[in-house]
Amino acid sequence: MSGSSTPKSLPSSGQKSLHDIKHPLSCSPGAEEVAGVFVVNDTPSPELPHTDPNSIADKDLSLPNGTPADTSSPASSSSLLNRLQLDDDMDGETRDLFVTVDDPKKHVCTMETYITYRIMTKTTRAEFDFPEYSVRRRYQDFDWLKNKLEETQPTHFIPPLPEKFVVKGVVDRFSEEFVETRRRALDKFLKRIADHPVLSFNEHFSVFLTSKDLNSHKKQGATLLSKMGESVRYVTSGHKLRSRPLEFSAIGEYLDMFALKLGTIDRIAQRIIKEEVEYLVELREYGPVYSTWSALEGELSEPLEGVSACVGNCSTALEELTEDMTEDFLPVLREYILYSESMKNVLKKRDQVQAEYEAKVDAAALRREERTGAPTEVEKCQDKVECFNADLKADMERWQNNKRQDFRQLLMGMADKNIQYYEKCLTAWESIIPLLQDKPEPK
Amino acid sequence: MSGEEDHTGLFGAEEEQESLPEMAEEECLLKKMEISVSEAEKRTGKNSVNMQETYTAYLIETRSLENASDGQNSLESLWRRYSEFELLRNYLSVTYSFVVVPPLPEKRAEFVWHKLSADNMDPDFVERRRVGLENFLLRVAAHPVLSHDKLFLAFLTQENGWKEAINEAGLQVKTDSRLKALNATFRVKNPDKRFTELKHYSDELQSVISHLLRVLARVADRLYGVYKVHGNYGRVFSEWSAIEKEMGDGLQSAGHHMDVYAASIDDILEEQEHYADQLKEYLFYAEALRAVCRKHELMQYDLEMSALDLVTKKQQCEELTTGTVRAFSLKGVTNKLFGQETPEQREAKIKVLEEQIEEGEEQLKQRNLESRDFVQKAWQEIERFKEQKNRDLKEALINYAVMQISMCKKGIQVWNNAKECFSKM
């Protein structure tokens, strides 16, 4: 990161703050703040983390299984433990690592413009020297982490990162909406890792969360290329597996189908939003016509004006609905589509490992005809396959559970948003009935 | 039939009589007779130039309420086609030019959104027109003046000879007066401010309602899209449920609710079409209102022409008697060219002119009376119309709001059902 080496040259990140909330960190000199580690003392800092109104903790849609460390009191380990006991999730896994991504800031340098996000970590794990950390990272750092995880945890499903550019073509990468959507996706990415029983212990992950200088770690990753080369070799070997376990074929088929259906749902959701936006355009024209009419009339003036205002209220409710659906619904679908893609890659790697094993078995079988000897190489390979299979199965189960919860919340959220929309319209229309019945019926 | 109930309820044709005590003594036809257009039938026949044509005939059923006590079944019915309704309406608007004659439903479907067919033979359109024609008859029958017309009664009850009778009534006049009215618009010197304003109002009303109807049709189109696309969730949830274990049932049944949601739009838009029809009636009423204004302009024009004519003649007469000729008048020039008239000739001319002046004065008086009578009747009628309009439109707006409320409630219900399914996933 260029910022970390020459902190002074970096323009104050507060200059183009995307969020106008004042954060304690933003008061400190830019040097420390941008790339440095902010270790929170035990002294209370009441407004420390979550004054952000957009904190996803409020949005039920995007937070199926992550609980942000949103205690406003300093995180003592006892209060954390209390939380843990309350928040036992369905697996009975206890969470002791809480990560949130917030406070995006725009950095304008001579060479480039980019966004950094603040990553807050709270933990009781002994592996960490401090209970709390705060660092700033940019998208390419997340990308580095993802690659490192894929490289070092090849047997696990690595959660997806948001695409580098969400929409092909012109997207304002620095628009508030884009940054917010990305922030949420990054938050989700880290939370999924933090909640994972294996991935959360990955050394690169802790480095990412805590390191003052991530760049020096990044430079060590030179081996990446050679490893990639190795895996490519197996992909191209085209070896037909003799006995791929049925369950993995089933997972592969499931993921294909799942991605296909989600793709369809994504298109439908986008289409609905498009129709709703066009409906909104018409409603915005429709309401004022009643006002125009109202100006012509005497006795009818008030009722017509009432209808006009009512249509206006319904338009506002509709606009909220489309915004909510765009911000909350679509990104989750996208995340799962990407997720299934990355999972398919892991399945492929599993097939490669099995292919490697089968090749060695064949080779050993040939050799055995000549001389007998303990084929330790083969056994090692067999272990590798079995470990892979076990990890994959466990991850799949985890993923299925997460997916079920996520979609339950997502779809319930969709229903809720629609219910709220109709309730707002209902209130609007009910409220004008008395206005229309200006002559109270004698009863 | 539910349509009929709606109809009287919405348009308040009967209630109108009850709610206005001053009209109670004025027995309109609707007090003595039940009227309905109960059926529509497609027919094929030959027209005047012997061409094959297809048209729709409407069954008008009437039952006299006066003989009801005798236990006699006085139900009568006859078929009329749209063009005959048109003829009736033309006759009424010519005969009762001061009346804001109730409009007919549209001949061709206008302001349609994509799902509705613009075909004249489309069953939905025919049905809506049937309701509209019945409404027209009820409005005429409830009208304090129109309901007493003999030819209107004949239209309802006399199968044969009605057309001949109405032709005798001199519809020819109508076309003439229409043409004259067109010219008069630009020539009236002293237009009545009230009528000018009314005409202006009619124009504005027509433009605002047609704008409203256009946007309403687009709103309907979009709403239809929003609902129908949700139906795709139904299919994809069902397909998706096939590959899921625990989530499967919830998805499957939620998909069913999405289908229900998508299907519910058809009824909603059908109801909205009823609202559109009520607006359309007033769109066409605006035209009827303008016809009254035009008629007034025509009368005013005639009045002014008579007055002008009289002034000219009086001037001529004066010139002849006093012998003074105005400079530069054509008369003066011809006199100079062709020599003076003999005193006898002059006397004769003066006499003719004096007679004409007398006639003219009589005519002017007559026209003044007619005009005053027209203005008085027309304003009474317009006041009546305004009340009717305010009442009708308020009711239409209430019904529209009620319709929206029920749509919202349906929406809440469907989404609650879907949410219940999702929560079980």
- Residue B208 belongs to a domain with what CATH number? 1.20.1270.60
Mean of the per-residue pLDDT values of chain B: 83
Residue B180 in domain: no
| Mean pLDDT lowest among A18-22, A285-289, B262-266 | A18-22
Query: What's the mean pLDDT in A46-67?
Result: 40
Are the beta carbons of A167 and A331 closer than 8 angstroms?
Answer: no
Query: What's the mean pLDDT in A170-182?
Result: 80
Question: Taking CB atoms and an 8 Å cutoff, what residues of chain A touch B398?
Answer: 433, 436-437
A8, pLDDT greater than 70: no
Question: Taking CB atoms and an 8 Å cutoff, what residues of chain A touch B247?
Answer: 404, 407-408
Same domain, B152 and B236: no
pLDDT at A413: 96
**Those residues with Cβ within 8 angstroms of residue A354's Cβ, 6 or more apart along the chain or in another chain:** A241, A244, A385, A388
A14, pLDDT greater than 80: no
Rg of chain A taking only CA atoms, in angstroms: 27
pLDDT at A169: 54
A20, pLDDT greater than 80: no
Q: Which helix (H) or strand (E) holds A105?
A: strand A97-108
First to last CA, chain A: 78
A364 three-class SS: helix
Q: Which of residues 43-102 of B touch A (CB under 8 A)?
A: none
Same domain, B16 and B41: yes
Which among B44, B73, B75, B74 is positioned nearest to B59, based on CA atoms? B75
pLDDT at A312: 97
In chain A, where the domains are located: 2-232, 242-436
| % of chain A beyond a pLDDT of 70 | 69
Same domain, B255 and B383: yes
Query: What's the mean pLDDT in B205-228?
Result: 95
Are the beta carbons of B171 and B94 closer than 8 angstroms?
Answer: yes
Residue at which a domain ends, from B125, B140, B170: B170
Residue B367: how many other CB atoms lie within 10 Å? 18
Model confidence band, residue A44 (pLDDT cutoffs 50, 70, 90):
very low
Burial of B48 (0-12, 13-18, 19+ CB in 10 A): exposed
Q: Which helix (H) or strand (E) holds B153?
A: helix B150-157
Tell me the C-alpha distance between B425 and B247, whole Å: 4
Same domain, B226 and B259: yes
Q: Is B162 on the interface with A (CB under 8 A)?
A: no
Mean of the per-residue pLDDT values of chain A: 77
Q: Which of residues 189-228 of B touch A (CB under 8 A)?
A: 201, 204-205, 208-209, 211-212, 215-216, 218-219, 221-223, 225-226
Rg of chain B taking only CA atoms, in angstroms: 31
A66, pLDDT greater than 50: no
Model confidence band, residue B171 (pLDDT cutoffs 50, 70, 90):
low
Same domain, B193 and B160: no
Is the pLDDT higher at B28 or at B359? B359
ipTM over 0.95: no
Same domain, B225 and B114: no
Q: How far is CA A393 from CA A259, A388, A400, B248, B381, in A?
A: 19, 8, 10, 21, 85
- Pairing mode, if any, of strands A113-123 and B75-81? unpaired
Question: Taking CB atoms and an 8 Å cutoff, what residues of chain B touch A412?
Answer: 419, 422-423
Model confidence band, residue B200 (pLDDT cutoffs 50, 70, 90):
very high
Of A271, A281, A429, nearest to B401 by CB-CB distance is A429
Question: Taking CB atoms and an 8 Å cutoff, what residues of chain B touch A416?
Answer: 415, 419
The domain defined by A242-436 folds into Substrate Binding Domain Of Dnak; Chain:A; Domain 2 (1.20.1270)
pLDDT at B347: 82
How many CA atoms lie less than 13 Å away from B361 in the CB half-sphere?
Answer: 7
pLDDT tens column, B16-39: 434 444 444 456 788 788 899 988
Question: Taking CB atoms and an 8 Å cutoff, what residues of chain A touch B389?
Answer: 300
Model confidence band, residue A414 (pLDDT cutoffs 50, 70, 90):
very high
Tell me the C-alpha distance between A15 and A13, whole Å: 5
Q: Which helix (H) or strand (E) holds B79?
A: strand B75-81
Of B233, B243, B405, nearest to A429 by CB-CB distance is B405
Domain total for chain B?
Answer: 2
Same domain, B119 and B205: no
pTM surpassing 0.80?
A: no
Same domain, B189 and B264: yes
Structure tokens at A338: 């990407």
pLDDT tens column, B38-73: 888 888 877 767 778 888 899 999 988 765 555 556
Model confidence band, residue A404 (pLDDT cutoffs 50, 70, 90):
very high
Query: What's the mean pLDDT in A83-112?
Result: 72
Query: What's the mean pLDDT in B159-173?
Result: 74
> Which CATH superfamily includes the segment(s) A2-232?
Phox-like domain (3.30.1520.10)
| Mean pLDDT lowest among A116-130, B161-175, B398-412 | B161-175
Backbone angles phi, psi at A311, to 5 degrees: -60, -35
Type of residue numbered B141 = A
For an interface test with B, the pick among A412, A424, A430, A437 (most B C-beta atoms closer than 10 Å) comes out as: A412
Q: What is the 3-state secondary structure (H, E, C) of B385-415?
A: HHHHHHHHHHHHHHHHHHHHHHHHHHHHHHH
**Those residues with Cβ within 8 angstroms of residue B130's Cβ, 6 or more apart along the chain or in another chain:** B3, B37, B39, B40, B58
Query: What's the mean pLDDT in A379-391?
Result: 87
Q: Which of residues 233-262 of B touch A (CB under 8 A)?
A: 233, 236, 239-240, 243, 246-247, 250, 254
Tell me the C-alpha distance between A297 and B205, whole Å: 9
Q: Is B416 on the interface with A (CB under 8 A)?
A: yes
pLDDT tens column, B293-325: 988 888 888 888 889 889 988 888 888 877 655
Same domain, B159 and B276: no
Residue B338: how many other CB atoms lie within 10 Å? 8
Residue at which a domain ends, from B141, B170, B199: B170
Tell me the C-alpha distance between B6 and B222, whole Å: 27
Is the pLDDT higher at A230 or at B209? B209
Give bridge partners of residue A123 from the DSSP assignment. Answer: A97
DSSP alpha helix (H) spans, A297-375 = 301-324, 330-370
Angle value at C-alpha A321, between A317 and A324, nearest 5 degrees:
135
| % of chain B beyond a pLDDT of 90 | 45
Residue B331 in domain: no
Q: How far is CA A433 from CA A193, B303, B408, in A?
A: 54, 49, 15
Same domain, B353 and B222: yes
Same domain, B107 and B252: no
Q: Is B176 on the interface with A (CB under 8 A)?
A: no
Structural domain for B86, as ranges: 1-170
Angle value at C-alpha B237, between A89 and B115, nearest 5 degrees:
140
A286, pLDDT greater than 50: yes
Tell me the C-alpha distance between A405 and A392, whole Å: 20
Residue B23: how many other CB atoms lie within 10 Å? 15
Type of residue numbered A26 = S
CB-based contact A286 B215, cutoff 8 Å: yes
| % of chain A beyond a pLDDT of 90 | 44
Same domain, B193 and B145: no
Tell me the C-alpha distance between B204 and B215, whole Å: 16
